[in-house]
Structure 1
Amino acid sequence: MSQKNETLSLFLAAVITIGFIFGGLWFFMERWAQINGIPKPSETGNTSNISNPLNQFINKCNVANLPEGTFNYGGSTTWAPIRKEADSVLQSLCPRFILRYTQPPSGQPGSGTGIRMLIDNQLAFSQSSRSVKAEENAEAKQKEFSLKEIPVAIDGIAIAVNQSLNIPGLTVAQLKDIYTGKITNWQQVGGPNLPITVYSRSKEAGGTAEFFVENVLNKENFGANVSYINTTTEAVRKVAASPGGIYYASAPEIVPQCTIKSIPLGRTSGQFVPPYQEHFIPPSECPNKRNQLNSQAFRSGDYAITRNLFVIVKQNGQTDQQAGEAYANWLLTPQGQELIEKAGFVRLK
């Protein structure tokens, strides 16, 4: 009997040991799935990966309808922070979807040149800070496709002035008169007796200038008083060195700056809304603290000059269309919108 008891004890010990081993493996796989955010087959209704569970951990690219290959894209300089923050994440998640930023063959990059390159089949899709013009869509249709704009973010146009300028704000009408040459001294808008030095990028350079002419100047031409610069970086330096300087650009490029300041805007006098969150952070506290975007005013439309940022897609039923639509749709996911907000813009969703 003692020999039988000894055999039974050894058998039970072996069974228990094997049970612990398989239980540990099962627990390890469950924890691994939780850490990597992989749903159980029972949660998805898909049991195809049971035979090879490692497939669940290798493939993390779950962007719908995303094609494989290398895709040229480009356009708006306003989009640069999004390319830095969001596109790099998409590349790491989906390494077989390769984005290649492409400079224009001539001239400066911008929304207009990006759309031009898209029409000329030099880009798979483009990024724009303005809507597609009727003449651009007409030209695309001559090549047997159309252009679709997909909004993915909200941006505001902020007005930069010298740190020393004392002015409560500007109305959109006053801003128009400054840039068309009707107002030439800050004294005319409640400021000091000081000539206004006006800076802008050229209308041909990018979507921000085109948007400004279309929506602020009501399609009037810039005045003879406007000095043209190539980049916002150059403009910020000039405004910082010019007591009467003024410039406009995408709010994320202006609001956090330390060497210049952004000013409130209003549709009517006395109803100014700042592009920054109250309270204004003075230059003495910058860069340890920086002014933040007034996202709520941009989203609600209380701030006077806002716009959407678009992915421009070539509707031709080919892989380029698939790439552009999948890219835009990913930017509209919670993860994409969070990265857009991290880049300094206001989320649509």
Structure 2
Amino acid sequence: MSQKNETTVLLLALLLTLGLVGGVFLWLANTSGIRLFNARNNLSQPIKQAYSESFAQFPEVPSGLFSYGGSTTWAPIRKEVDTAIQTVFPRFQLRYTDPTIGAPGSGSGIKMLLNNQLAFSQSSRSIKDEEYQKAQQRGFTLKEIPVAIDGIAIAVNPNLNIPGLTVAQLQDIYTGKITNWQQLSGPNLPITPYSRRLEEGGTVEFFNENVLDGEKFGVNVQFIPTTTEALKEVAKNPGGLYYASAPEVVGQCSVKPLPLGRTSDKLVPPHKEPFILLQECPQRRNQLNAAVFQNGEYPITRRLFVIVKQNGQSSDQQAGETYANLLLTEQGQDLISKTGFVRIR
């Protein structure tokens, strides 16, 4: 055989070997979730993520009593989803714990997690830089796992007749620049904006950072300790206004959710159309329009997180990761959807 033929044969053999090795590697990556570099978006992403269909199919859960706490926005999920988890896994005991001092919320839950008072926490906002830093100082890290999508809805008195608000107008109301509904083509009526205090929850922190852009609340804002009390005030006050998690507002019988938009020519209602008149409630209630939250058409959306303390596969870390993964099963996502929040997968 000539040297030229030998070279050709060797080259073909090399190419065939590389092709086989590459094929085996890709097969292994697809079946095991190996992360590959994605040059298109410069992110390392899992090729495949396997999710269980139901809680009962979940491979393994830790046993013991695990305290958790945090966001008040999560209350419907705790009531519906956590009860179902306990039914399937009675030895995976979950106990919601309020803070010793102050009101429960995303911030207080993360603080309790940092102080080793909780196994994991629930949050309606992302972890702050200073919270990451405190965790590192104490020898562990914090990880946020998104499990659902939520939006901020605006509640007004049912008798207020305006088409909706832009995010900029909402900002101007809560910073005191707009004080009368007449400035927004409404009636000559003073606006009374209600809010919980900044330190009392992740929803308020999210609103302050993403709607007010860090500006201070105006002197016209009245602070109310709970969403339940604030909605009662809006129902009594013709000029009242309040913001809260969309599932807490959309199905109410005593207040009306306002459409919101980035611009005044595209106001998006958080509820399904047509709007069900409040006189028909509670026999019929308005339902969340999940599609506009999923596709980003609604202007104020956020994710809900399970906050996990990573410190070397401790029982607390296992409990937090297990809880998040149960919420990401098909059954968990279905139950989240039933509580009024939007599934993330």
Q: Same fold (TM over 0.5)?
A: yes
Give yes or no for the alignment of 1:285 onto 2:280.
Answer: yes
Q: Of 174, 177, 182, which aligns to 1:182?
A: 177
Query: Could you say which residue in structure 1 is the equivalent of 2:212?
Result: 217
Give yes or no for the alignment of 1:322 onto 2:318.
Answer: yes
Give yes or no for the alignment of 1:302 onto 2:297.
Answer: yes
Aligned residues: 290
Task: Give the counterpart letter for 1:298 in structure 2.
Answer: F
Task: Give the counterpart letter for 1:66 in structure 2.
Answer: V
**Alpha-carbon separation, structure 2, partners of 1:136 and 1:121:** 14
Give yes or no for the alignment of 1:227 onto 2:230.
Answer: no
**Alpha-carbon separation, structure 1, partners of 2:262 and 2:320:** 36
Query: Could you say which residue in structure 2 is the equivalent of 1:171?
Result: 166
Q: Of 264, 271, 283, which aligns to 2:266?
A: 271
Task: Give the counterpart letter for 1:346 in structure 2.
Answer: V
Query: Could you say which residue in structure 2 is the equivalent of 1:67?
Result: 62
Give yes or no for the alignment of 1:338 onto 2:317.
Answer: no
Instruction: Note the C-alpha offset of 1:262.
Output: 0.3
**Alpha-carbon separation, structure 2, partners of 1:311 and 1:149:** 6
**Alpha-carbon separation, structure 1, partners of 2:147 and 2:107:** 18
Please give the TM-score of this superposition, normalised by the length of structure 2: 0.83
Instruction: Note the C-alpha offset of 1:61.
Output: 4.8
- Secondary structure of the equivalent of 1:312? strand
Task: Give the counterpart letter for 1:343 in structure 2.
Answer: T
- In structure 2, relative to structure 1, the CA distance for the partners of 1:333 and 1:61 (3 Å cut) is closer
**Alpha-carbon separation, structure 2, partners of 1:342 and 1:291:** 14
Q: 1:52-63 to 2 correspondence within 5 Å?
A: 61-63=56-58
- Secondary structure of the equivalent of 2:152? strand
Give yes or no for the alignment of 1:140 onto 2:135.
Answer: yes
Deviations 1:150-177 (A, max 9, x none): 0000001000000000000000000000
**Alpha-carbon separation, structure 1, partners of 2:295 and 2:222:** 33
**Alpha-carbon separation, structure 1, partners of 2:256 and 2:316:** 41
Q: 1:71-110 to 2 correspondence within 5 Å?
A: 71-110=66-105
Q: Which has the larger radius of gyration?
A: 1
**Alpha-carbon separation, structure 2, partners of 1:223 and 1:139:** 31
Deviations 1:63-93 (A, max 9, x none): 3342111100010000000000000000010
- Secondary structure of the equivalent of 2:135? helix
**Alpha-carbon separation, structure 2, partners of 1:263 and 1:61:** 40
Identical aligned pairs, as a percentage? 68
Deviations 1:10-49 (A, max 9, x none): xxxxxxxxxxxxxxxxxxxxxxxxxxxxxxxxxxxxxxxx
Give yes or no for the alignment of 1:206 onto 2:201.
Answer: yes
Give yes or no for the alignment of 1:118 onto 2:113.
Answer: yes
**Alpha-carbon separation, structure 2, partners of 1:159 and 1:92:** 36
Contact 1:74–1:123 (CA<8 Å) still a contact in 2? Answer: yes
Task: Give the counterpart letter for 1:64 in structure 2.
Answer: P
Query: Could you say which residue in structure 1 is the equivalent of 2:152?
Result: 157
Instruction: Note the C-alpha offset of 1:197.
Output: 0.6
Gaps of 5+ in 1: 1-59
- In structure 2, relative to structure 1, the CA distance for the partners of 1:61 and 1:69 (3 Å cut) is farther
Contact 1:65–1:322 (CA<8 Å) still a contact in 2? Answer: no
**Alpha-carbon separation, structure 1, partners of 2:150 and 2:185:** 28
- How much is the aligned-residue C-alpha RMSD, in angstroms? 0.9
Query: Could you say which residue in structure 1 is the equivalent of 2:240?
Result: 245
Task: Give the counterpart letter for 1:279 in structure 2.
Answer: P
Contact 1:165–1:244 (CA<8 Å) still a contact in 2? Answer: yes
- Secondary structure of the equivalent of 1:78? helix
Contact 1:111–1:206 (CA<8 Å) still a contact in 2? Answer: yes
**Alpha-carbon separation, structure 2, partners of 1:184 and 1:320:** 48
**Alpha-carbon separation, structure 2, partners of 1:160 and 1:195:** 16
**Alpha-carbon separation, structure 2, partners of 1:213 and 1:316:** 32
Instruction: Note the C-alpha offset of 1:62.
Output: 4.2
- Secondary structure of the equivalent of 1:273? coil
Task: Give the counterpart letter for 1:138 in structure 2.
Answer: Q
- Secondary structure of the equivalent of 2:126? coil
Deviations 1:231-258 (A, max 9, x none): 1110011000000000000000000001
